[in-house]
Amino acid sequence: DARVTQTPRHKVTEMGQEVTMRCQPILGHNTVFWYRQTMMQGLELLAYFRNRAPLDDSGMPKDRFSAEMPDATLATLKIQPSEPRDSAVYFCASGFGDIQYFGAGTRLSVL
C-alpha cells in the first residue's frame, strides 16, 4: 500500500530552535507539495517541487523557512529559527498530474 511517509509525527520545541521535517513521497510521483494547516488559515500551500526542482515557494516565510529535495525519495522542510506562530500541522503531499496524496502530517508545537 503506497503512501507518503512523514517524520516526525509530533515535534515539540522551544522558540529559536531549528526544526526539520522530512517526507518520503510515493515512488513514481514527480510532484511534492508542502502544506501548513491551522484553524485560522486552513490548509495553505507553502512550496512545491516537480522532478526535484523547486517551482514555487511563495507561500513560505522566506527568512526562516526553507524547502529542499536532495533526492527523489526525500523532501525536507526546515524552520530556523522557529517561533510560536509556526505551531501547526505540516503536511507533505505527492502526486502525478493533479491528484495529490497526503502524508499523515507533522504536528509542530513551538513553545
Partner 1 sequence: QKEVEQNSGPLSVPEGAIASLNCTYSDRVSQSFFWYRQYSGKSPELIMSIYSNGDKEDGRFTAQLNKASQYVSLLIRDSQPSDSATYLCAVNRGDYKLSFGAGTTVTVRA
Bridge partners, 66 (sequence order)? 78
At closest approach, how far in Å is the CB of 74 from partner 1?
Answer: 19
**How many angstroms separate the CA atoms of 106 and 23, rounded?**
10
**How many angstroms separate the CA atoms of 79 and 81, rounded?**
6
Residue 104 touching partner 1 (CB under 8 A): yes
Residue 25 touching partner 1 (CB under 8 A): no
| In the block, residue with C-alpha cell 526544526 | 19
Per-residue contact track with partner 1, 36 to 55, x per CB under 8 A?
------xx-x--x------x
Closest CB to partner 1 among residues 83, 96 = 96
